[in-house]
Amino acid sequence: MEIVRLKRTSRILSGHPWVFSNELATSPKIYEPGSLLELRDGKNNFLGIGYINPHSLIAIRVITRNKENIDRDFFRKRILHAVEYRNRFLKDTDSFRVIYSEGDNLPGLIVDKYDRCLSVQFLTLGMERWSEIIIDVLDMIFSPSVIVLRNDSSARLLEGLKIEKKILKGTMDGYPVIFEDSLRFEVDPLSGQKTGFFLDQRENRMAFSRLIDGGKGLDLFCYTGAWGIHMAGKGADVIGVDESDYAISQAMKNAGMNGLSERCGFIKTEVFDYLKKEISKGSRYDFIVLDPPAFVKSKSKLREAMKAYRAINSNALRLLEAGGLLATSSCSYHMSRELFTEVLRLAARDAGRQVRVIGMRSQAGDHPVLLSVPETEYLKCVFLIADP
């Protein structure tokens, strides 16, 4: 294994797994892309083992701090450790994120389990070089009926990798159906967003639904209807809004599977426009869910994104009845918890509403956050109540 020396080590010594090219003592271009390297400091002290891609924004990603062989047994142990973590902290679910990249010390690897189906993403060149071994280990551990490769993330383009989707094992004769707090949801692992379903909001959906007892609700950016269906299951009448034909169709199907079609209506339209029309009509709701896609993909777009989050939250607050509830989220990493809280404060001021925070939440437990890697925490979910 070749050795690469670092001229700056503070990031690595703090426990972070990323090394940028300007932290290296030599050019990263002299190393084979995707190869494993032993990292050492200027005094020849061992720092860890990582894989390199000189064409990526992140030159090296550390996969171990120990001197050990990187082979099939290494990945088997890492994956089993991740499974044991889920078995300890997740209850009453057959579907969860098995591997969460850096959060499970396997940077560049995402694995989601939907009942008997595994959906796998390789986001980096260094991890993709081990794809055959990793797939084989996953197959041995879970014995799934279907394994889907979802290598369609735009992050792969930054690594010089091609975009592709395919079934590696089994056939997709029917989509997997997963359970979430007694409710059933059909998941499309091939065509759905991300790997098919937003598992990261599972605990937030269940927690918010427990605050609901009838009433009239609005589920904005509803995707396949999970938030709204949870609320309808508590006796509420809910309207879901999304601009995707696919999402609306799947949401209607999921509502029907749970016997909640009469309580759930879905509208295909643009959410910002819908909110403005509802405000002009003087509509009011007892609770609203606002779960938009990431408005900010890079730090340079943060100011623009803050304006969008402020506007949409302000309009949502204008529609709330006195004592109404708002569950609002941001999945943008660059929108910190502090910034998001400030945006919500400004949105409430714009709407002329006094609001109280009744819950500050994050992503589900199968998306573990490493304290040494702030980037592993991206989801902010805040529960608010509008005072009279």
Active-site annotation, residues: 331
Q: Are residues 12 and 19 in contact, defined by beta-carbon separation less than 8 angstroms?
A: yes
Query: How many angstroms separate the CA atoms of 144 and 138, rounded?
Result: 8
Cα(197)–Cα(112) distance, rounded to whole angstroms?
A: 9
Helical pair 302-318 and 271-281, crossing angle rounded to 10 deg? 30
H helices of 129-267, in order, are 131-142, 155-158, 202-209, 226-232, 245-257
8 Å CB contact between 370 and 320: no
Could you tell me where the beta strands, DSSP code E, fall in the chain?
2-5, 18-19, 36-40, 46-52, 60-64, 95-100, 109-114, 117-122, 146-151, 164-169, 177-180, 183-186, 216-220, 237-242, 264-268, 285-290, 320-330, 355-361, 380-386
Q: 245: buried, middle or exposed (CB in 10 Å: 19+, 13-18, 0-12)? A: exposed
- Which residues, other chains included, contact 250 with Cβ-Cβ below 8 Å and sequence gap of 6+? 186, 188, 192, 224, 225
| Euclidean distance between CA atoms 30 and 22, whole angstroms | 14
| Chain-centroid distance, C-alpha 268 | 24
CA atoms within 13 Å, Cβ hemisphere of 99: 27
